[in-house]
Amino acid sequence: MRDVAIIDYGVGNLLSVERAFEHCGANAVISSDPDYIRKASHVVLPGVGAIANAMASLSKDGLDQVVKEVAASGTPLLGICLGMQILLDESDEFGVTRTLGLIPGRVVPVPNVSPDGAAVKIPNIGWYGLRMGEADVPWTGTLLEGIEPGEAVYFVHSFMASTADHRHHLADCLYGGNSVTAVVMRDNVVGCQFHPEKSGDVGLRILRGFLGR
């Protein structure tokens, strides 16, 4: 049995994350207890809303340090949406916010202009097909193993990750003609910009991939 700790540090729809993991056969618990989180076999950092607020809530109870410990211990760690953005060094959303620095890079706005100069709607809300990242890092052995390029997942966001090292850029999608980062990964730390728990069957397969099936 996989024991998944879903870190609770404030508001948002955590129930759907919990239900999706349970659907995948895991024992998922929403928790803000550092000891429980440290002992889990898999840890999930969810998140919605503004990054500065999220970082403040996470730091208030020292959970930022717990997440860093989990990452250093080798436990599989999955950031979802804003929880993925928090894994990087810094975010440009409403001024600069320092984040966890587990994957080198920064969080930047989704481009609001297409390469041919047309306006692109922000936030990006919708289903987009996954593509291989810039460095063509294979998906075998990652949470995307078994996912075919083109299979669609659900995005809702205005900012996205820009990794310093292309090898940490596992997948993207095309929105408004621009590459939008979908999955970042460095060793045991992985993040999805999209919501796997809201991406139907494809999303559930990605969560099973994270659990190691």
Report the C-alpha gap between 59 and 117 in whole angstroms: 40
Say if residues 110 and 151 touch (Cβ distance below 8 Å): no
Report the C-alpha gap between 173 and 98 in whole angstroms: 26
Q: Would you tell me how many other CB atoms lie within 10 Å of the CB of residue 154?
A: 17
The residues that touch another protein, with contacts defined as CB under 8 A, are: 11-16, 19-20, 23, 48-50, 82, 114, 118-129, 150-152, 154, 156-158, 175-177, 195, 197-201, 203-204
Catalytic residue among 42, 157, 168, 195: 195
In terms of CB distance, is 172 or 197 closer to another protein?
197
In terms of CB distance, is 91 or 199 closer to another protein?
199
Measured from the CB of residue 187, what is the shortest distance to another protein in angstroms? 28
Measured from the CB of residue 176, what is the shortest distance to another protein in angstroms? 6
Active site residue 197: yes
Catalytic residue among 18, 42, 81, 192: 81
Say if residues 158 and 124 touch (Cβ distance below 8 Å): yes
Sheet of strand 97-98: strand arrangement: 97-98, 90-91, 105-109, 159-163
In terms of CB distance, is 18 or 189 closer to another protein?
18
Active site residue 81: yes
Catalytic residues: 81, 195, 197
